[in-house]
Amino acid sequence: MENILRPIYQERASHSNTLAIIMIEKRHETSPLTDNLDVALLVVVQTPDANAAIKHYQSEDKKASLIVMTKDEVQEAILLGTNRRVVDWILNGKILFDRNEYIVKLIDRIKEFPFSERKLKIGIEYGKLIRRYLEGKAFFESNQHLDAYNHIVHALHHLARLEVIDRGFYPEVTVWSQVKHIEPQVYKLYKELVESEETLQQRLELLFLASDFLIHSKTDIGAAHILTIMSEKDSWYYNDLHQHPELKYYSVDLSILLEYLVERKYILTEKVQTKSKDVFHLMYFLQKKC
């Protein structure tokens, strides 16, 4: 298949805007990694490409896709986990073209996993964890047990990813095989939820109790990034936090995480008078240490 695709990727490699080209081959009969096609070609470009649309090709009985991503999109996918296949592609794909060792350096960076990136990813995962957990708890309290189950599974998944990141590794698509060895307690919770013979309501009751303790115990780790950011100023309006170049990655989870930290007394609030007599702005600040 590589020989068939060679004219396509060589033409791409000739462009000065192209940084790297990686080939990912189908490994199993069912292969979400390549969208079940035989081969995927990832082309990384410096700046947005006018021909960046995903393209599909066929030669005889073989099918292939060509995906063009900018280096910023690749970095965001790695940082935010929005396309977890990207890490797999970079670490395990075949490098066909690599201008100035862009991919080699990126692989080194992924393996090194700088502490600043780790703190940000943990914060993002913790925000998602809080949202999923609280939404699941709301469904459970209204006796919507199947919806509660769905959300607590996702919450445990974010907790598992947080544990993996905290150990200095990027979470893989098969995150539970990582967690089994890294944090058996979280793995055991997940197994109890999906394999226990107790009723769904009983499983959820136990899981919410255990999860509440675990989530609380991870607050120092999960909130470290946002608390570090907030220490840069004496006080913050919510919009200032939302617009911060790093906190913007928390997206819709920033507000619920902030409220959770207020409830836990990690963050304090102060009312600031608006033009309306009985309406106040909220300002957020860290409790000053003596």
Query: Could you read off the pLDDT of 113-150 as tens digits, one per residue?
Result: 888 889 999 999 999 999 999 999 999 999 999 999 99
Residue 101 confidence class, pLDDT cut points 50, 70, 90: very high
pLDDT at 290 over 50: no
Q: Are 271 and 281 in contact (CB under 8 A)?
A: yes
Whether residues 158 and 211 share a domain: the answer is yes
Whether residues 165 and 245 share a domain: the answer is no
Whether residues 135 and 237 share a domain: the answer is no
Identity of the residue numbered 281: H
Residue 51 confidence class, pLDDT cut points 50, 70, 90: low
pLDDT at 32 over 70: yes
pLDDT mean over 54-72: 87
CATH number of the domain within which 100 lies: 3.30.460.10
How many independent structural domains does the chain possess?
3
Query: Which residues are paired to 285 by β-bridges?
Result: 268
Whether residues 135 and 185 share a domain: the answer is yes
Whether residues 259 and 286 share a domain: the answer is yes
Whether residues 163 and 174 share a domain: the answer is yes
CATH number of the domain within which 259 lies: 1.10.10
Whether residues 282 and 265 share a domain: the answer is yes
Structure confidence at residue 157 (pLDDT) = 92
Last residue of a domain, one of 112, 136, 155: 112
Token pair belonging to 28? 């199993």
CATH number of the domain within which 156 lies: 1.20.120.330
Alpha carbons 233 and 104: distance in angstroms, whole number? 38
Whether residues 14 and 105 share a domain: the answer is yes
For 72-94, how does the pLDDT look when each residue is reduced to its tens digit (9 = 90+)?
Answer: 999 888 888 778 788 889 988 99
Whether residues 73 and 52 share a domain: the answer is yes
Alpha carbons 4 and 18: distance in angstroms, whole number? 20
Structure confidence at residue 33 (pLDDT) = 79
Last residue of a domain, one of 80, 112, 144: 112
Last residue of a domain, one of 206, 222, 238: 222
Token pair belonging to 27? 């490994």
Whether residues 214 and 241 share a domain: the answer is no
Structure confidence at residue 61 (pLDDT) = 83
Whether residues 124 and 218 share a domain: the answer is yes
Q: CA 106 → CA 91, 188, 210, 249, distances in Å? A: 9, 34, 38, 21
Token pair belonging to 140? 């459970």
Q: Write the DSSP symbol of residue 170.
A: P
Whether residues 125 and 105 share a domain: the answer is no
Query: Domain span at residue 44?
Result: 2-112
Token pair belonging to 9? 């990727």
How do 39-45 and 62-70 pair as beta strands?
Answer: parallel
How do 39-45 and 18-25 pair as beta strands?
Answer: antiparallel
